[in-house]
Amino acid sequence: MTKSAARARLFEIIRDRSFGYGEITLASGRKSNFYFNLKPTMCHPEGAALLAELTYDALRDDTLDYVGGLEMGAVPLAGALAQLSWLKNHPIAAFFVRKKPKEHGARLAVEGLAKGETLEGKRIVIVEDVTTTGGSAVKALEAVREAGGEVVLVFTMVDRDEGAAETFAKAGVAFRSLYKAGEFLKG
């Protein structure tokens, strides 16, 4: 499948499984009359494969060591991308950042790293399913920076175009997306 055919097919899956109209309160606290819930797409066999493939294609020239982000949205994306990167002989390891460190066990904020493994000095992309203002991804970005990692990019599947680009520009991090919300609002 060509990249444009894959992008068109993924658009259909997101539109059918993950996009809708109706009043909703977003993670940012804002109200909206449309929403994206990408979990049904990320958990769909073809949707997961296409998300990983298109994200891998978008990131493969960025010389990355790790991909990760804030739970829950980043977890399936980072895992699928790590697996695909291994199959393509260009491994990018995955991790995720807890919204709140566990109150038992190792009490880690960053999960998925083996004992002795760190993000120190590593090039990292933060991934997110849907981005509105960027607040959720900033939490992951801050945790990675605290761990000594270098966030080189925030990459989202759908940018709602409601301030995230400005948020990441202020944070000094590049921001890109697979889709813009406006693409789904046209039809």
Sorted by where each starts, the structural domains of the chain and their CATH numbers stand as 52-185 (3.40.50.2020)
* 129 annotated ligand binder: yes
Question: What integer pLDDT is reported at residue 1 of this predicted model?
Answer: 84
Distance of alpha carbon 39 from alpha carbon 162, whole angstroms: 21
Coil, strand, or helix at residue 95?
Answer: strand
* 151 annotated ligand binder: no
Question: What integer pLDDT is reported at residue 21 of this predicted model?
Answer: 93
* 136 annotated ligand binder: yes
* 74-87 vs 45-59: helix crossing angle, rounded to 10: 70
* 116 annotated ligand binder: no
Q: Do strands 110-111 and 93-97 pair parallel, antiparallel, or not at all (unpaired)?
A: antiparallel
Q: Give the up-direction half-sphere exposure of residue 182: CA atoms within 13 A in the CB hemisphere.
A: 3
* 98 annotated ligand binder: yes
Q: Per the structure block, which two tokens stand in for 59?
A: 């990131």
> CB-based contacts of 130: which residues, under 8 Å, 6+ apart?
36, 38, 73, 156, 157, 158, 160
Tell me which residue of 38, 65, 72 sits closest to 178, measured CA to CA.
38
Question: What integer pLDDT is reported at residue 108 of this predicted model?
Answer: 58
Note the pLDDT tens digit of each residue in 64-116: 999 999 988 899 999 999 999 999 999 999 999 988 766 655 555 788 889 99
Coil, strand, or helix at residue 43?
Answer: coil
Q: What is the mean pLDDT of each run of 10 residues along the chain (187 residues)?
A: 95 97 82 93 96 95 93 92 95 90 62 90 96 90 92 96 93 96 88
Q: Per the structure block, which two tokens stand in for 52?
A: 């990983």
* 41 annotated ligand binder: no
* 135 annotated ligand binder: yes
Question: What integer pLDDT is reported at residue 99 of this predicted model?
Answer: 80
Question: What integer pLDDT is reported at residue 101 of this predicted model?
Answer: 63
* 133 annotated ligand binder: yes
* 104 annotated ligand binder: yes
Give this prediction's pTM: 0.91
Q: From residue 53, how far is each of 101, 121, 125, 177 by CA, in Å?
A: 31, 26, 16, 14
